[in-house]
Structure 1
Amino acid sequence: MTPALKGTTLDGKHADIATMRGDVVVINIWGSWCAPCRKEAPELRKLAEKTEPLGVHFLGIDIRDNRTAAKAFERNFGITYPSIYDPGSRTVTGFKQLAARAVPTTYVLDKQGRVAALSIGPLTYQDFHPIIKDIAAENA
């Protein structure tokens, strides 16, 4: 099962994955300092936009970063989904053996909160859209 993921977003709001239970959730571990994260940001934005009608939620976890740089990253790449601000990288340890070992890492959680797909390194829309779509279609 998914770890308890909650915290304060870059915008100062509270985010809690528990409120997304029953839906497919894409969790992306990133940092503004990460070149591969900059490469994948437009792909994630497009995935979020195209899968929202399927009831898919996106949640970022910004690690080892400063708030100003992270907010600029989101603004520059047009990221509209929330990101938990986690400069100490504590949130990701809850994934235990699946904990992110590289940045970016992306998890797709099924409607039961289980890790159904995992990408280590930058993903592409073309490769990941069918995966998310299939997971969202399960038990639809």
Structure 2
Amino acid sequence: MTPTVKGTTLDGKHADIADMRGHAVVINIWGSWCAPCRKEAPELKKLSEQTAPLGVKFLGIDIRDTKTAAKAFERNFGITYPSLYDPDSRSLIGFKNLAARAVPTTYVLDKKGRVAAVSIGPLTARDFYPIIKDITAEQA
């Protein structure tokens, strides 16, 4: 299943995962109010840096949040990849039956845009890097 996710990022730009086809894409659902998300943020930053040479793209989806709090969260944790600002969680509808039921939830899409892996709860770069590497190698 290929989810449909697009919208406006925290910095006011448009993002659409359809534009990322041909790359593995990591999508992380988070909120600044979420303690496990704060625990996970440094791991995602590290993971985004480790997988950049593999051509992996990252997209956050900030839900049930204020823009001020979300921007402060990204700044505090040094997050450089874009995040959709989605205070009403509307973008999660694009995941249909795979929609996140807990925060944080992380999806990895393969190069064809299909959900290849899901992590519910905070992940670690050490545990998740091999999964992403395998997904990118699968279709190389």
TM over 0.5: same fold?
yes
Tell me the residue number matched to 1:19. Answer: 19
Work out the CA distance in 1 between the residues paired with 2:3 and 2:127: 26
Q: CA deviation at 1:123?
A: 0.4
Tell me the residue number matched to 1:60. Answer: 60
Q: Does 1:124 align with 2:109?
A: no
> Alignment length, in residue pairs?
140
- Extract unaligned runs of 5+ from structure 1: none
Tell me the residue number matched to 1:46. Answer: 46
Q: CA deviation at 1:3?
A: 2.2
2:95 match: secondary structure? helix
Query: Does the 8 Å contact 2:107/2:115 carry over to 1?
Result: yes
Query: Does the 8 Å contact 2:4/2:95 carry over to 1?
Result: no
Q: TM-score, length-normalised on structure 2?
A: 0.98
1:123 match: secondary structure? coil
**Which letter does structure 1 place at the counterpart of 2:98?**
L
Q: How does 1:54-93 map to 2 (within 5 A)?
A: 54-93=54-93
| CA-based RMSD | 0.6
- Extract unaligned runs of 5+ from structure 2: none
Runs of 4+ in structure 1 deviating by more than 6 angstroms, as ranges, are none
Work out the CA distance in 1 between the residues paired with 2:94 and 2:19: 17
**Which letter does structure 2 place at the counterpart of 1:114?**
R
Fraction of identical pairs, as percent: 82
Q: TM-score, length-normalised on structure 1?
A: 0.98
